[in-house]
Amino acid sequence: MKIVLIGPAYPIRGGNALFVAHLYESLSAINDVQVISFSRLYPGFLFPGVRQTDVSTVALKKHPAEHIIDCLNPFTWWKAARLAASMNPDMLVFTWWNPFFGFIVRTIATVFKRRVQKPVVIIAENVVSHEGRWI
């Protein structure tokens, strides 16, 4: 099965990127998996840490990924959707962990579905965000 996985990937740091790495590792054992990731995950004022990328010299889990989605640039969302559709996967899989990404996921999924009539799966964690409820 050919799967396109969309979520944060190394060098983006954090638990969500590690989750995507483990998911990639598991799925790619028996499937053809391509990853589309973020070039910028959060705007600076929303990011809770010092930097969004891992600067360590040894990556815990590194895998191939296209880093094209900028959280603040809708043109990159459409680009990611077109790229995913051009790969003609059997399934598009998102990881979703924060309401902030709702517009991004919806845009990519909608554009993808208009081009390719294949299933879209969303793996949701943090359904009720532990950040404030202002988003």
- Give the per-residue pLDDT at 47: 59
Q: Per residue in 12-47, pLDDT tens?
A: 767 788 899 999 999 999 999 999 999 987 776 665
> In the predicted model, what is the mean pLDDT of residues 89-103?
90
Q: Which CATH class is domain 2-124?
A: alpha beta
Please report the pLDDT score of residue 100 as a whole number.
Answer: 79
Continuous segment of H or E residues that includes residue 96: strand 91-96
Domains in the chain: boundaries: 2-124
Give the pairing of strands 66-70 and 91-96.
Answer: unpaired
| Cis, bond preceding 11 (omega within 30 deg of 0) | yes
44-71: per-residue pLDDT in tens?
666 566 655 555 555 566 678 999 999 9
